[in-house]
Chains A and B, each alone.
Chain A
Amino acid sequence: MATIGLIWLCLVLFAAVAAPLIVPFDPLDIDPVNRLAEPGWPHLFGTDHYGRDTFSRSLYGARMTMFIGVGSVVFALATGGLIGMLSAYFIRLGNFLMRGIDVLMAFPALLLALVLMTLLERSVTNTIIVIGIVYATTTARILFGMTLKLKREVFIDAAICSGAGHSSILFRHILPNLISPLLVQASFIFAFAQLQAAALDFLGLGLPPEVPSWGNMLSESRIYVTRAPWLLIFPGLLIILSVFSMNMVGDAMRDSMDPRFKDDIAGV
C-alpha cells in the first residue's frame, strides 16, 4: 500500500513541478462557449462554469497542494517543535507555554483554523500559517513529552558532564533523537493540512477564490453538481487519493522507524 501511495505522491509532485509545462490550457483562461463541457477531448476532465479546463486546474491544484503541505509542515514543526523542546527543557517556561498550547488544543482543529482565518486576509501565506499553528499544537505536545523523557537519560547527564551548554544539549544531543517522531509527525501534518486547506477553501475562508486549488474547485462546483458532477468528482478524488497516500506513507515511515514493529513488517 505504501508503495502505491509513494508512487501517487511522486505523480502529484511531478504534476506540481511540471504544471506550467504540461497543462493543455491556461487554468485561468475563460472560455464561455465551452462552459460546463463534459469530460472528453480536448478537455480531459471537462470544464467549469467559466469554461476553464478542469484538468489544467487540477494540475495547478497539485502545485498548491504541495506548497501548502510543505509550508504547513515546516511551520508546524519549527514552531511546535521549538515550543515543545524548550518547554520540556526549561520546565518553568514550559509550565507557562504548554498551558497556552492546552488552550489552543481545547478548540477543534477546524474551528481554530476558522477563527484564525477570519482574523486574517485570505492568502496562501496566511492559510499556511493558520494550518501551521493548528498542527504546531500537537507537535509541541508530542515533543514536550519526548524531550521530558530524553533529558533524564544518562547520556544527557554524560553530555552535561563533558561540559556541554544548554544549546548544545538541546540541539546536538536531544534533537537528533527526535528526528524519527518529527518525520512521522511531518507526514501526518502533510496529509491533514490538505484536508484542512480543502475544508477552509470549501467554506470560502482559505485561499483566494481565483487560485486554482482542489478545495476551491470543490467549493465552486457545488452549485453545478447536478449538471456537471465531474467538477466535484475529479478534485474530490484527487484529495482523497492524496490524503490516503500520505497516510499510507506516514504509517510505513512510522513502522520502519519504530524498532518494535520491525518484525511485523518483515513478516508481511
Chain B
Amino acid sequence: MALLEVKDLAIAVAVGGQLVPVVHGVSFTVEAGKTLGIVGESGCGKSLTSLAIMGLLEGSQVRITSGSILFDGQDMLTLPAERRRAIMGADMAMIFQEPMTSLNPVYRVGEQIAESILQHRKVSKAQARERAIELLRLVRIPDPEGRVDSFPHQLSGGMRQRVMIAMALACDPKLLIADEPTTALDVTVQARILDLLKELQDETGMAIMLISHDLGVIAETCDDVAVMYWGKIIETAPADELFSTMAHPYTRGLMASIPVSDREVERLEAIPSRVPMLGEKLDGCAFHPRCGRARPICSDIDPVAIAVSPSHFARCHFPGEDQA
C-alpha cells in the first residue's frame, strides 16, 4: 500500500460567493521511502495540493471540493482534528519555501525544535533539548550545542532551512512534504540542502514529496515525477524515464526553457502565450492554445491519461509525437 494516496483531489477558491476551481481532480501516490517530485509553474495548484494534504486550507477562502487524501490508510480529510494533529508533525511533516519567516522570531531555535518534540512525545524538557541538539547535528549545523540557543535572526537563510528540516524530522516522520524548499536560497546553498535531504532520506527511510518549479531540482532528487499544468497532472513517470522521453508537449516546453550553460543558444525557448486565467472556461485540452502540435480534436476533447509505457502516463492525444 502506498504511504500517501491522493485521489481525485479538487480544490476551489471562493471568490465573491462563487467557487472557482483551481485544482481539477489530481491523483498521485507517494511510496514509502521514495521521493515524488511535483513540478509546474506558478499558480498550477502544486502548493495548494500540499497545503490541502497538511490541512492548512482550513479557515481560508480555499475549499476542498472533492477527493480523498489517504495517509497510511487514513483519510486526512475526514479524520477528527484531534487524530489529525497527532499525525501532523509526527508521521507527516512539512518544510516551507521561506526559511526567513517559517521560524517564530521570539523563540530560540532549540526551543522551537523541542516544542514540536514535546507536542508528540512524552519526554522531559531536558531530553527534548538533547534531542534538538542531536537533530541540529543531524542536519549538519556546525556547533549544535551553541546554535541551539540562537534566535532565528542570528542564522543565515540556509541555516534556517536546516533548522526547519531539523524541526520537521523531530519525530521521525514517514513523509516529509517540502514545498519549494530551496527556492528562496542561493544556488550553492540550494545544492547543499538538496544533498542533505537526500542523505537524510537514506538515513531515515522517509518518503519525500518535493514541490518545485525547477526541473533541475526535480531531476536531481526524485524517483518519480508528476508534472502539473492548470490544476491537472498532465504527465507522470519515473524521473529517469521522464527526462529521457518526455511525452507531453508542456513538459518538453518546460525543459526547453531551461538555460543550459554548456551549450551556446541564440534564444531560450519559451512556451508561447500564457497560462489560462483561473476559472477560465476551456474546452478540450487546457494546453491546446499554447501547444505547437495542437489539432482540431485538442480543442474539443480533454485528453485522458494515456499510457506511454507501463509506468509513464501523459494527458495528451498525441503523446510523444515529434520527439526530437
Contacts and interface: CB of A to CB of B under 8 A. Distances in A.
Interface of A: 91, 153-155, 157-165, 168, 172-173, 176-177, 179
B101 A161 contact: no
Select the residue from B85, B90, B164, B168 with max chain A CB neighbours within 10 A: B85
Nearest to A89: B59
Q: Which 5 A-B pairs have the closest CB atoms?
A: A162-B89, A163-B89, A162-B116, A154-B102, A176-B106
A199 B87 CA distance: 57
Contact of B119 (A154, A157, A163, A176): A163
B54 A177 contact: no
A157 B56 contact: yes
A177 B103 CA distance: 12
A164 B167 CA distance: 13
B115 A162 contact: yes
Nearest to A175: B106
Interface string B20-52: 000000000000000000000000000000000
B96 A91 contact: no
Contacts, number: 66
Contacts of B103: 155, 158
Contacts of B94: 158, 161
A153 B96 CA distance: 11
Nearest to A163: B89
A179 B106 contact: yes
B93 interface: yes
A247 B60 CA distance: 40
A153 B98 CA distance: 10
B102 A155 contact: yes
B54 A161 contact: yes
Given A162-B115, A162-B167, A154 B106 contact: no
Nearest to B153: A259
B290 interface: no
Contacts of B170: 162
Contacts of A163: 85-90, 116, 119-120
Given A168-B119, A176-B106, A177-B105, A161 B88 contact: yes
A143 to B, nearest CB: 15
A153 B101 contact: yes
20 contacts: A153-B101, A154-B102, A155-B102, A155-B104, A157-B56, A158-B94, A158-B167, A160-B55, A160-B56, A160-B88, A161-B88, A161-B89, A161-B93, A161-B94, A162-B116, A163-B120, A165-B85, A173-B104, A177-B104, A177-B105
Nearest to B107: A176
Contacts of A160: 54-56, 88
Contacts of A159: 104
A172 B119 CA distance: 12
Interface string B69-101: 000000000000000011111100110111001
A147 to B, nearest CB: 13
A163 B96 CA distance: 15
A119 B106 CA distance: 43
A157 B164 CA distance: 12
A158 B89 CA distance: 9
Select the residue from A158, A164, A179 with max chain B CB neighbours within 10 A: A158
A91 B59 contact: yes
A155 B160 CA distance: 12
Given A155-B104, A158-B164, 19 more contacts: A91-B59, A154-B102, A155-B101, A155-B102, A158-B102, A159-B104, A160-B54, A161-B93, A161-B94, A162-B88, A162-B93, A162-B119, A163-B86, A163-B87, A163-B90, A163-B119, A164-B119, A177-B105, A177-B106
Contacts of B105: 155, 177
Nearest to A178: B106
